[in-house]
């Protein structure tokens, strides 16, 4: 009860501080937060991203969130790569921009403050972390023809991992890795 009361009444008004999320700094903590490191934050998705060779790639990310994975994508794409990140939550867009600036990759990312239900542009890599909208995006005829797709699936939002695997296989992708978690799974697929 006290924790809930603190979280709802005091914590939102405290100054923000930098927290390191699985190796990526972001100003998402609050002054009195006990932890300065969150090793489990997006750990499976970051592992899948870090498993890819992304230098010089054009990457589209749907669901940029706080910018943790976005910053990692931009670092791995390098100075000749390009990252376009979509995020529908305006509050998160501001945090994402701040995270990108903190990680010195702000100029390498085009941030789009909008909801995405389909994509019509080509890319080398597509990363979907869109809290249940992944099935809708992948069910469209054209989602950019990427060589690599990384999808965070959300069975809790009625998007079964098996359904996403079937869509990718039917579109000619080979599933090369599945990372299974308690509430989410990560699928890595190549064309």
Mean pLDDT of 58-84: 97
The pairs formed by 135-140 with CB atoms below 8 angstroms and a separation of 24 or more are 135/159, 135/163, 135/164, 135/167, 137/62, 138/164, 138/167, 138/168, 138/171, 139/167
**pTM, entire model:** 0.92
Q: Looking at residue 182, what is its pLDDT?
A: 82
Check whether 84 has a pLDDT greater than 90.
Answer: yes
Q: Which domains does the chain have, with CATH numbers?
A: 41-190 (3.40.50.150)
Nearest to 138 by CA among 154, 118, 162, 156: 118
Q: Looking at residue 104, what is its pLDDT?
A: 97
Q: Looking at residue 155, what is its pLDDT?
A: 85
Check whether 109 has a pLDDT greater than 80.
Answer: yes
Q: Sorting pLDDT into bands at 50, 70 and 90, what band is 158?
A: confident
Average pLDDT, the chain: 92
Contact of 73 with 42, CB cutoff 8 Å: no
pLDDT digits (tens, 9 = 90+) for 160-182: 999 999 999 999 999 999 999 88
Check whether 141 has a pLDDT greater than 80.
Answer: no
Q: Sorting pLDDT into bands at 50, 70 and 90, what band is 157?
A: confident
Q: Looking at residue 144, what is its pLDDT?
A: 77
Give 17's DSSP letter. E
CA atoms within 13 A on the CB side of 38: 17
Burial class (CB in 10 A: 0-12, 13-18, 19+), 179: middle
- Least confident piece of the model among 92-101, 104-113, 142-151: 142-151
């Amino acid at each position: 009860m006290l924790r809930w009361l603190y979280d709802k009444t005091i914590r939102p008004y405290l100054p923000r501080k930098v927290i390191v999320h699985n190796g990526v700094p972001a100003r998402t903590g609050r002054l009195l937060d006990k932890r300065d490191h969150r090793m489990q934050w997006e750990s499976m998705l970051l592992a899948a991203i870090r498993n890819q060779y992304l230098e010089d790639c054009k990457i589209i990310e749907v669901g940029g969130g706080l910018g943790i994975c976005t910053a990692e994508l931009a670092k791995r794409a390098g100075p000749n790569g390009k990252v376009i990140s979509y995020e529908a939550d305006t509050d998160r867009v501001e945090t994402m921009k701040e995270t990108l600036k903190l990680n010195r990759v702000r100029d390498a990312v085009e941030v789009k403050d909008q909801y995405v239900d389909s994509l019509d542009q080509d890319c080398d890599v597509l990363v979907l972390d869109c809290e249940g909208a992944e099935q809708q995006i992948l069910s469209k005829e054209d989602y950019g023809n990427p060589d690599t797709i990384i999808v965070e699936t959300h069975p809790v939002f009625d998007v079964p991992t098996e359904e996403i695997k079937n869509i990718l296989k039917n579109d000619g992708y080979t599933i090369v890795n599945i990372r299974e978690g308690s509430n989410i799974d990560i699928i890595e697929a190549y064309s």
